[in-house]
């Protein structure tokens, strides 16, 4: 599997950061059918057709790790760019 890992520092408090992760996960579910589950207060597991991963929240930072199946590998660059854009938008 191809892996994409991105980390971003932010200035949001814990509740606001959690809300942004929830909003982003809900958007992915609606748009791409990706399911997600919270594991505790700071980790979200993501699973969909051709992708698995997680979003981890820590004070002042968010980290996203995605494993792409073979069928999505050709789109790795596009997915990484879209991920960076969403992180920049949601986590100032």
CATH code for the domain defined by 2-73 = 3.30.310
pLDDT at 2 (0 to 100): 84
pTM: 0.91
The predicted pLDDT at position 1 comes to 62
Residues 6+ apart with CB under 8 A from 8: 61, 62, 63, 87, 88, 91
Q: What tens digit of pLDDT does each residue of 41-89 get?
A: 999 999 999 999 999 999 999 999 999 999 999 999 999 999 999 999 9
Confidence of residue 6 (pLDDT cuts 50, 70, 90): very high
Ramachandran region of residue 62, left (φ > 0), alpha (ψ -120 to 50) or beta? beta
């Amino acid at each position: 599997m191809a892996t994409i890992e991105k980390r971003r520092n932010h200035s949001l408090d814990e509740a606001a950061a959690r809300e942004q992760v929830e909003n982003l996960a809900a958007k992915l579910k609606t748009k791409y059918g990706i399911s997600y589950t919270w594991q505790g207060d700071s980790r979200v597991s993501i699973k969909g057709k051709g992708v698995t991963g997680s979003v981890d929240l820590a004070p002042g930072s968010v980290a996203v790790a995605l494993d792409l199946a073979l069928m999505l590998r050709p789109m790795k660059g596009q997915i990484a760019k879209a991920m960076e854009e969403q992180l920049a938008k949601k986590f100032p």
